[in-house]
Amino acid sequence: MKFFFPHQKRMRSTLISFLLINGVCLLWMAGFRESGCLAFHPQPPSAAYLLGTTTNGFDISFILAKSIIQTLWFLTVTVSLVFFFSVTLGIVFGYFCRLNFWVPMLRIIEIVNSIPLLMVLVILGYYHWLFWGSFLVLMLLFKWPLCAQVSQGLAMSYRVTMPVLLAQMNGISDLSIIRRYFVPKIFKALIPKVPTLAVSLFNTLTIMDFLGYSFLGSSMSLGSLVAEGKDNLYAPWILLSGLGGLLIVLLPFILLSFSVVSEGSKAGERCQ
C-alpha cells in the first residue's frame, strides 16, 4: 500500500483533519437536543444557538454537523472511485497502445467532454432520478478523463523505458509489469491530481445542492443552506455558515494539495 501514500508524513495532516472533522461533527450531533421549530424567522447566533437558526427556525449548527459528515464521506468515496477507475483505464490504454486503434481513448474523451454534465444532472434531478448511486455512476462516466489522459500519457512514455523493455524481453507477464512497475509510479505521479478532482466533484455536488436537487439524506444539505442564505441576505449568518461548511468539507483536500506541493518543493531543494 506504500505507493498509494507516497508522502506519508505530510499526509498525516490530511488524515488527521478528516478524522477531526468527523469526530467533532459526531460529538456535536450526539450532544444536540432538538427543541423543535423556534419561530418562522431566523434567530441570530446566540449562546443557545451558536450559529443561529434558519428561516424555518432550525439550528444551523446541527444542520452543518450532519451535512458536513455526509458530504465529506460521499466526496471521499466518489473521489477514490473516480481516481482509481480513471488511472486504471489510463494505464491499460497507455500500456496496450494497440487498443487505441480499436477504441481510441482521446475520441471517447472528446465525446464525453462534449456532453454538458450539469444539464444532464439537472434533467435527472428535476425528474427525481438523481440519487447517490446514479450520481456516482455519472461522475465515473464523466469525470474519468481528468486523470485518464495524463495517466495514459505517462504509461505510454514509461513503456519504452529500459526496465520495462528488459522485463518484456525476460518474459515477465504484462500484468506483472503493470502491477509492479506502472501502478506504483503512475499512482505516485497522479496523487497531486486528487485535490483537483475533489474540487471538481465538489463543485458539481454543491451546485446541484444549491439548485435544490439534493440527494444526500432528507434533511437540509450544505448547498441548500447556502441557497437559503442567498435568498435571505438580511440574515447573513445563514449564508456565512453555509460557506464555512463548504470550506470545512474541502479542508482535507486543501491540506493534501499543500502537503504534495511542499513535499515537491523539498524534493526540488534536495536535488539542487
Partner 1 sequence: MKIAWHDSTVLWRIVRGLFWTLLSLGVASFINFILIQYAPVKPDDFFASQEILTTAQYDQAPVSKQSLFQGYVHFLTRIFTGDFGRSQLYDVPVIDVIQDALIVSLTLSSLSLLLSYGGAFLIAWIYFISGSMGKKFLYGALSVLQSLPKLFVALLLVIVFASNQDSGLFPLESPPLINDLHLDRWDLFWNASQKFILPTLTLFFAYTPKVFLYFVGMMAVDSRLQNHLFWRGHGRSKNQIFWLSESRYLLSTLLWRVVNDFVFLIFTYGFMVEIIFSLPGMGFLGYRAIISGDFDLFMAIFLLFSVISVAFNFILRALVPTYEQVKL
**Site for partner 1 (CB under 8 A): which residue of 27, 176, 236, 267?**
236
**Which residue, 187, 137, 136, is CA-closest to 158?**
187
For partner 1, the binding residues in 138-157 under the rule CB under 8 A are 149-150, 152-153, 156
Of 65 and 227, nearer to partner 1 (C-beta) is 227
Cα→Cα distances 70→38, 90, 121, 164, 227, Å:
25, 30, 20, 43, 18
- The reply on whether position 247 binds partner 1 by CB under 8 A is yes
- The reply on whether position 233 binds partner 1 by CB under 8 A is yes
A 10 A CB-CB count for 80 gives: 14
223 within 8 A of 208, measured Cβ to Cβ:
yes
DSSP letter (8 states) at residue 160? T
**Which residue, 119, 90, 95, 147, is CA-closest to 204?**
119
- The reply on whether position 199 binds partner 1 by CB under 8 A is yes
For partner 1, the binding residues in 76-105 under the rule CB under 8 A are 104
d(Cα 79, Cα 104) in Å, to the nearest integer?
25
Stretch that binds partner 1, among 4-12, 31-39, 54-62, 202-210 (CB under 8 A): 202-210
- The reply on whether position 113 binds partner 1 by CB under 8 A is yes
What's the closest the beta carbon of residue 175 comes to partner 1, in angstroms?
23
d(Cα 45, Cα 236) in Å, to the nearest integer?
10
d(Cα 193, Cα 212) in Å, to the nearest integer?
29
- The reply on whether position 44 binds partner 1 by CB under 8 A is no
- The reply on whether position 218 binds partner 1 by CB under 8 A is no
Q: Number of residues interacting with partner 1: please give it, by CB under 8 A.
A: 49
Of 106 and 137, nearer to partner 1 (C-beta) is 106
**Site for partner 1 (CB under 8 A): which residue of 12, 27, 56, 110?**
110
d(Cα 51, Cα 67) in Å, to the nearest integer?
15
A 10 A CB-CB count for 156 gives: 16
**Site for partner 1 (CB under 8 A): which residue of 229, 237, 238, 259?**
229
Three-class DSSP category at 59: strand
The contact set with partner 1 (CB under 8 A) reads 104, 106-107, 110-111, 113-120, 122-123, 126-127, 149-150, 152-153, 156, 195, 199, 202-203, 206-207, 210-211, 223, 226, 229-230, 233, 236, 239-240, 242-243, 246-247, 250, 253-254, 257-258, 261, 265
